Chain A
């Protein structure tokens, strides 16, 4: 319940309400671009600074766990979409890629949630975010192209879209800067990138609320199956995330982080890559599911739910 009263989450709800009520509120596109660059870089930077504090040895097992999730979540999603939803192969593959990949903003929100509650989590969490971005997109492309000669655009331009796209590039870049920068100099960028982060996140979420509301209006056209998928799939993925977390020995806080990452669906890296790699998939389907259904669900209800389940799993398991 406290999550609902967080100012950033309330800003998201305000944006949603404005969009659904057809308010003429709109943020300039330049601001959306600026904020998304800022947030991705800041998430990377913060993650890098924290990463510098952790021992290399402790990362390996969770990293492998994250990789396994990045491959298995899209496979499960694809199976559900094809067999239960009876959706076309390109659409199923593209949606599966979105659900296997992750949302950096959802990640930022879960970290803020844990910090607020005073729950500790692993210093290297941002590495898990970066590791989870890409494999699912590769799996999605392979699933879409099974039997075909290769992706429409060629692997080169897809790799370019992935690694040089702003999402992965800025997260990785920020991570490296955070690790490399001398700790005493990090203070010079702290006011902008660390102290103002939560406020900027709130502003960005206002815009995301508006974007999500427009997607939500399209839910009618995508059908009830995708609506159910958009809510049940993240819960299933979170359960897989919790199981993996217990297996690789993450703390309760770290378990909440990995469960949320598994549950989140990408809306920056995956749409850009899938539009190029699987052009025959209908963007209205994957954008509506990822942005119109799953993102609001995770932000408002999912994160507290995954946190509760993670604690419960740790109580039972240990």
Chain B
């Protein structure tokens, strides 16, 4: 099975905007995503994740390079200035690339 080169988009954000981020991902046509709860420390202080206003999430999705960059830009433009939000991209080699829209 030959791996397909694709992009993985990782988003770490405060839980307050989780639903809206997911809506953006769906609107951009990604085939799926995975969300986990996160804790950490950054520009906006310690995000301990121990109660409502202090929760962060880590959302990951795999898609083609063009979609990944446009989604990343859109998220940062919408929420970058006022929310805890970190976005990064990695090159990944994915098996069964068709699951991520690579063959479509």
Q: Show the binding face of A for B, using Cβ within 8 Å.
A: 26-27, 29, 32, 153, 157, 207, 211, 214, 268, 271-272, 275-276, 279-280, 283-284, 287
Contacts and interface: CB of A to CB of B under 8 A. Distances in A.
Nearest to B84: A283
Given A272-B16, A279-B83, A29 B50 contact: yes
A135 B49 CA distance: 29
Interface in B38-58: 45, 48-53, 55
B51 A283 contact: no
B51 A29 contact: yes
A272 B50 contact: no
B45 A287 contact: no
Nearest to B48: A214
B79 interface: yes
Contacts of B82: 279-280
A8 to B, nearest CB: 19
20 contacts: A26-B50, A29-B50, A29-B55, A153-B20, A207-B51, A211-B50, A211-B51, A214-B48, A271-B53, A272-B52, A272-B53, A275-B16, A276-B16, A276-B17, A279-B81, A279-B82, A279-B83, A280-B82, A284-B45, A287-B53
Given A207-B51, A280-B81, 11 more contacts: A32-B51, A153-B20, A211-B50, A214-B48, A268-B52, A271-B53, A275-B14, A279-B79, A279-B81, A279-B82, A279-B83
Complex A-B, nearest 10 residue pairs according to Cβ-Cβ distance, in ascending order: A279-B82, A275-B16, A271-B53, A29-B50, A280-B82, A32-B51, A211-B51, A287-B53, A279-B83, A276-B16
B51 to A, nearest CB: 5
A276 B53 CA distance: 11
Contacts of B17: 276
Nearest to A208: B51
Contact of B53 (A27, A207, A280, A283): A283
Contact of B49 (A27, A29, A153, A272): A29
Contacts of B50: 26-27, 29, 32, 211
Contacts of B16: 272, 275-276
Nearest to A157: B20
B42 to A, nearest CB: 14
Interface string B68-83: 0000000000010111
Contacts of A153: 20
A73 B45 CA distance: 31
B69 to A, nearest CB: 24
A275 B53 contact: yes
B47 to A, nearest CB: 11
Which interface residue of B45, B49, B82 has the most chain A CB atoms within 10 A?
B82
Contacts of A275: 14, 16, 53
A246 to B, nearest CB: 36
